Amino acid sequence: MDQISKPNSPSLENFWMPFTANRQFKAAPRLLASAEGMYYTDIDGNKVLDGTAGLWCVNVGHGRERIAQAVERQLRTLDFAPTFQMGHPIAFEFAEKLAAIAPGGPAAKLDRVFFTGSGSESVDTALKIAIAYQRAIGQGTRSRIIGREKGYHGVGFGGISVGGLVNNRRVFPQIPADHMRHTLNIERNAFSKGLPQHGIELAEDLERLVALHGAETIAAVIVEPMSGSAGVIMPPKGYLERLRAIADKHGILLIFDEVITGFGRLGTPFATDYFGVVPDLVTTAKGITNGAIPMGAVFASRKVYDGLMTGPENQIELFHGYTYSGHPVACAAGIATLEIYQEDGLLTRGAELAETWQDALHSLKGLPNVIDIRNLGIVGAIELAPRDGAPGARAYDIFVDCFQKGLLIRVTGDVIALSPPLIIEKDEIGKIVSILGDALKRAL
């Protein structure tokens, strides 16, 4: 099929779809036409329960009138204005409001906010800030960044270099980086509820890489406090604390990539709050505007910001920024989203629901091919045994089956990931598990 099967509908040929098997998709497309609350509606009028908050971003649910109105108002007031050597009040207002809920709370002082247009831009921004900071404090030999296997940090050259997903890396050149081992260990930790018991020693990989490269070559270490895109991987108990301690010992900045965990996903405003481990930089995007308008933000500590605010005052301190950094319409969407988070208690609602969510997910234990179930906050993963000679095929078939039965899930390899909007009710959690459970029973 190269045409959507509706009168006057567009051809599917021209949109080169991201992270998609274009030819496979266009032969059997799944097209969403509208959305409200917890549900999408496809072009044939079928309702689809959103088990993934879009792509981990629609935390306050779809179709929020307040965001729509804020965007419309802003478009009519100031559609665009530059933030290079110029400013507009709403960007400062949003930064101030974000600073008030910044990761780690007021004591952490991660309240200097650099706006970007996406998660990938937030990651590349944080890496560049880390390298520039080290240079500004007289540590100019520190340009290497340490990431982790199976990490996902977006698709910029910086992000793929520190990321650890081979398909995203193999074709492209990279910046100087090295990788710690990932923390997924099904043999030791299968069916863990919350954080796995085993694996704190993996943080010592940072020590090993310091011994290999020399601390004086390493600017920063970046990890997702909980990895999402690579198949939902939790940090073992005590792991992030250990990483913080080793980074401190060697003058290495710690960056948490909170593009997924930011804005309530774990039942706290940020994963930084959940773990009580304070990094130097935090990258965010997605939930910052509920996905309504593209935007990201990097939260930097005052130490990092102040370290760069040196030199003559008429000199640009950081040669970096985007046309859309602090875009007024994105800021309007972000402020409206933040008001909803705060008024509806959604930054912490995940904590109230976490146990129901955990019980529901773990009820799928014992179904065919399920080799692990993992959960934290309002995130879940069901890992399947791969079909012989066809890795990923079983999970993909289940994804298609669920969609046909009215549930959107996300699959990466043979991992099914779930991250519904934070407005989810208990009966909807039940519905997710019921549709998924039936699909698991049907799958070959």
List contacts with ligand PLP (CB under 6 A). 118-120, 123, 152-154, 224, 228-229, 257, 259-260, 285
Question: Smallest distance, Å, CB 154 to ligand PLP?
Answer: 3
Helix, strand or coil for residue 239? helix
* CB nearer ligand PLP, residue 260 or residue 384: 260
Question: Smallest distance, Å, CB 117 to ligand PLP?
Answer: 8
Question: Smallest distance, Å, CB 42 to ligand PLP?
Answer: 23
* CB nearer ligand PLP, residue 307 or residue 421: 421
Question: Smallest distance, Å, CB 429 to ligand PLP?
Answer: 23
* CB nearer ligand PLP, residue 50 or residue 224: 224
The one-letter code for the residue type at 129 is I
Phi, psi (deg, nearest 5) at residue 159? -60, -40
Question: Smallest distance, Å, CB 150 to ligand PLP?
Answer: 11
> Where would I find the H helices in 214-283?
239-249, 271-275
CB neighbours of 297 closer than 8 A, spacing ≥ 6?
Answer: 98, 113, 114, 115, 116, 122, 284, 285, 288
* CB nearer ligand PLP, residue 153 or residue 244: 153
Question: Own/partner pairs for 424-430, CB < 8 Å, 24+ apart?
Answer: 424/38, 424/353, 424/378, 425/38, 426/353, 426/356, 428/38, 428/49, 429/353, 429/356, 429/357, 429/360, 430/360
Residue in 422, 376, 419, 364 with CA at minimum distance from that of residue 193: 376
Token pair belonging to 349: 């609602």
Find the helix or strand (DSSP H, E) in which 305 lies: helix 302-308
> What residue is closest to ligand PLP based on CB?
119
* CB nearer ligand PLP, residue 220 or residue 433: 220
**DSSP string for 129-166:** HHHHHHHHTT-TT--EEEEETT----SSHHHHHH---H
* CB nearer ligand PLP, residue 125 or residue 139: 125
Residue in 247, 304, 243 with CA at minimum distance from that of residue 102: 304
* CB nearer ligand PLP, residue 118 or residue 192: 118
Question: Smallest distance, Å, CB 296 to ligand PLP?
Answer: 6
Token pair belonging to 55: 């792509």
The CA-based dihedral angle spanning residues 397, 398, 404, 406, taken in that order and rounded to the nearest 10 degrees: -160
Question: Smallest distance, Å, CB 202 to ligand PLP?
Answer: 19
For the chain, count helices (H), then strands (E): 16, 15
* CB nearer ligand PLP, residue 57 or residue 370: 57
